[in-house]
Chain A
């Protein structure tokens, strides 16, 4: 493995370094000269101080850093790149298995008119990602890039065929053997009569299967004659199929995707043999000044991993999209919902409306209204085959349970989020955003412990005052009221920006209403930064509170921290 990386790196360096070549090879040099080198780099480093009050763990190294550097050479239709990553050690909140350094991602690619071939590492998504999604999220420490071969064939405009085969990145290792094919048909592009239609129809389908050797899986059951051991016959090839349809006409959109996964007994689903299913539906309408989007999702037993024994947040082949609004305001995202891959029924409605300018409520520039509501329920499981009489946990090695799409257990709510946001610009110097949010958070399900129903009301006021042409001062005030968990929070942020280069901000998140007076902590945060073109440097100091997440059968902690953080990023 190391030899391959060395060879690749040498090849890349050889292409980049100017070479003294004879006249016969000058044409080669000429072609090479037409190529461009691009890339990006980021270094995040954090220094930790002791703080036993908020529960900061001891960090013997004091300084930890996550960093990467990506270089890509592109010459016409050909490109190649490599990314170096180094975790010295991984920062708090990132999985300890990231520890190390190397070249986990490198590829060579030819993008022709009809055929596009990649050898090496690549990211890919089929449809919404519920059947396959290999992606990267640096801030979460997730990277499940596929290392293998990918071919994308476009025989005519509108027909795209993708084929992939490879293994997925799992920290510094690879896990699982994955094969997949995807067909995407944009009918309007290749069916002549449809080219002039106002209605666009796209149809797609995918097949993905994974292979893993069976290994020994022992189940010990209480039978009449005592404990009896059974060995489970595990499927080595697990296949899944998906179909999707999208229709757009005028301002209307209608779409849906269905995914089916064959029997996949795994640690995540308790080694049951029932298949998995997911349905995602959306309908929307948009016109100038108004938009509405409705979404519905029903998921059962859709954990799909390269290693059936894996639990937690890593090693997934697919990805379940969240049907909740991703909030940027801190108190609105204090208790975020985590998608339950084992099963959930969720709905979301999103309405946006712009009150016209010139009216009473619109003022000089108009007013933007955003109404959003989302809800997630537990699915209703019937006929549960349990080891105990009347138990709710399916027995290992059984079919598991029965469930129908969109049939929910109305008493078992996972999450509700209803919010209204109003944004208004008063004059060229002053603008404001107000938001009210109601949240129902099932801490017991999302975090694995605590309140089954925590109710919270959240109010946010965000005010920006611009002056002297390039300067801006922003004040953000947030309040979260709840009788459960840690009770009330108050947060204030003051941010000063000198466009386009400098920014400074100060914030404090205060647990003002905690029933335990000794735990009414202030989580303050100061940061400053400089931006020049594509380069960004920022330095911050502050306290971050602890969080616990229990997903897929294991609990992990996002630790509290008290420290100085430096981020350097640039792209070229």
Chain B
């Protein structure tokens, strides 16, 4: 009798544990998203990827959907590290087929990214591509805009780029950490073979590929810790263009980052026209 009581007690306990279980009915699964889709604060999405990574094209397809949906509010950078070599080694050995950069590896090491595809939204958490949409939505609907940022860029000569940045804090930013600017040069529409499910696609188009960073990999300081509302900053950068890059496909991305938490608090992108 005592034994039955024990067993009965356990079953009751088990029901309680299993009762702690949410079942979502068929018509309750999705609801239309009513949050804001535009904001003063832009979001930086960095996609860590490699030409031998078979799951990476799925992440690229998700990026296309997100870009079409969010438009200017979203800035995307494709980061191609050098390791792991099994996922990143170019299919052809010529220099113009190599999308990898040293700065990409520096960032991948700092975020402990060894598996692809993986990414960061405003450099907060390393998350899989299925989570990017949700993370971007949270910043755009709830994030506070701290910085008004203005970027202009031009190609003064055939082999150089010049970038001019100015910004001002429209809110007090109270976190620890100095404020840095990271200036990136991206190139669009690069055709380089990519592993896709079942085969290697020789005509795969890579967009928003990170080509270089002007200055240090973690940026240069433009403001001290906890800048108050009204603080302004400005910076000018110049850089040399690699002849392999096509000048009419380039764009400049400038990110305002907290150098301690690495959080991206504002980002802006301008496309370069070869005619300028």
Query: Interface of A with B (CB < 8 Å)?
Result: 55, 57-58, 95-97, 99, 153, 155-156, 159, 161, 163, 179-181, 183, 185, 190, 205-209, 211, 215-220, 227-239, 241, 262-263, 267, 270-271, 273, 309-312, 396-399, 444, 448-449, 546-548, 550, 553-557, 559
Contacts and interface: CB of A to CB of B under 8 A. Distances in A.
A273 B21 contact: no
A396 B152 CA distance: 40
A271 B29 CA distance: 10
B136 to A, nearest CB: 8
Given A57-B84, A239-B19, 6 more contacts: A156-B3, A159-B7, A209-B18, A235-B23, A267-B130, A310-B128
B28 A233 contact: yes
Interface in B1-55: 2-3, 6-7, 10-11, 13-15, 17-24, 26, 28-33, 35, 37, 52-55
B86 A309 contact: no
B7 A55 contact: no
- Which has the most chain A C-beta neighbours within 10 Å: B14, B21, B65, B87? B21
A448 B55 contact: yes
B21 A238 contact: yes
Given A179-B20, A233-B30, A557 B127 contact: no
B114 interface: yes
A238 B22 contact: yes
A554 B116 contact: yes
Interface of B: 2-3, 6-7, 10-11, 13-15, 17-24, 26, 28-33, 35, 37, 52-55, 65-66, 68-69, 83-87, 89, 109, 112-118, 127-128, 130-131, 133-138, 195, 197-198
B14 A205 contact: yes
B193 to A, nearest CB: 13
Given A155-B6, A159-B3, A557-B86, A216 B134 contact: yes
Contacts of A270: 130
Contacts of A163: 13
B54 A555 contact: yes
Contacts of A311: 115, 128
A550 B55 contact: yes
Contacts of A262: 21-23
Contact of B33 (A153, A230, A312): A230
B54 A218 contact: no
Nearest to B28: A233
A309 B128 contact: yes
Contact of A554 (B21, B37, B55, B133): B55
Contact of A559 (B10, B84, B109, B116): B84
A218 B137 CA distance: 7
Contact of B55 (A97, A220, A237, A555): A555
Report, nearest first, the 5 A-B pairs whose CB atoms are least far apart.
A239-B21, A557-B84, A218-B133, A235-B22, A229-B33
Nearest to A312: B115
Nearest to A183: B10
A267 B118 CA distance: 12
B143 to A, nearest CB: 12
A562 B268 CA distance: 44
Centre residue among B13, B134, B137 by max chain A CB count within 10 A: B134
Contacts of A309: 127-128, 130-131
A291 to B, nearest CB: 34
B81 to A, nearest CB: 11
A236 B52 CA distance: 36
Contacts of B54: 448-449, 550, 555
Contacts of B128: 267, 309-311, 553-554
Contact of A397 (B19, B29, B65): B29
Contacts of B22: 235-238, 262-263
Contacts of A209: 17-18, 20-21
Contacts of B135: 216
24 contacts: A155-B2, A156-B3, A159-B7, A183-B10, A207-B18, A208-B17, A215-B138, A218-B33, A218-B137, A229-B33, A229-B137, A230-B30, A231-B30, A239-B17, A239-B19, A262-B23, A267-B131, A309-B130, A309-B131, A448-B54, A547-B86, A548-B87, A554-B118, A559-B84
B137 A96 contact: no
Contact of A97 (B85, B112, B131, B137): B112
Contacts of A218: 33, 133-134, 136-137
Contact of A232 (B29, B68, B84): B29
Nearest to B66: A220
Nearest to B105: A58
Nearest to B142: A216
Which of A179, A190, A547 is the most central at the interface, judged by chain B CB atoms within 10 Å of its CB? Answer: A179
Given A209-B21, A449-B195, A557 B114 contact: yes
B10 A273 contact: no
B130 A396 contact: yes
B122 to A, nearest CB: 14
Given A239-B21, A449-B54, A554-B117, A230 B32 contact: yes
Given A219-B30, A449-B195, A548-B87, A161 B10 contact: yes
Contacts of B83: 57-58, 559
B114 A399 contact: no
A500 B112 CA distance: 43
Residue of B13, B128, B138 most packed against chain A (CB within 10 A) = B128
A156 B5 CA distance: 12
A441 B245 CA distance: 42
A448 B50 CA distance: 14
Contacts of A263: 22-24
Given A159-B3, A218-B134, A230-B31, A239 B13 contact: no
A238 B18 CA distance: 9
B127 to A, nearest CB: 6
B130 A271 contact: yes
B17 to A, nearest CB: 5
Nearest to B112: A96
Contacts of A183: 7, 10-11, 14
A55 to B, nearest CB: 5
A219 B114 contact: no
Given A96-B114, A205-B14, A227 B68 contact: yes
Nearest to A546: B86
Contacts of A237: 20-22
Contacts of B10: 161, 181, 183
Q: Which of A215, A216, A547 has the most CB of B within 10 A?
A: A216
Nearest to A547: B86
Contacts of A235: 21-24
B30 A556 contact: no
Nearest to B31: A231
A555 B68 contact: no
Contacts of B112: 95-97, 99
Q: Which of B24, B26, B52, B135 has the most CB of A within 10 A?
A: B24
A399 B29 CA distance: 9
Contact of B17 (A97, A179, A398): A179
Contacts of A211: 20
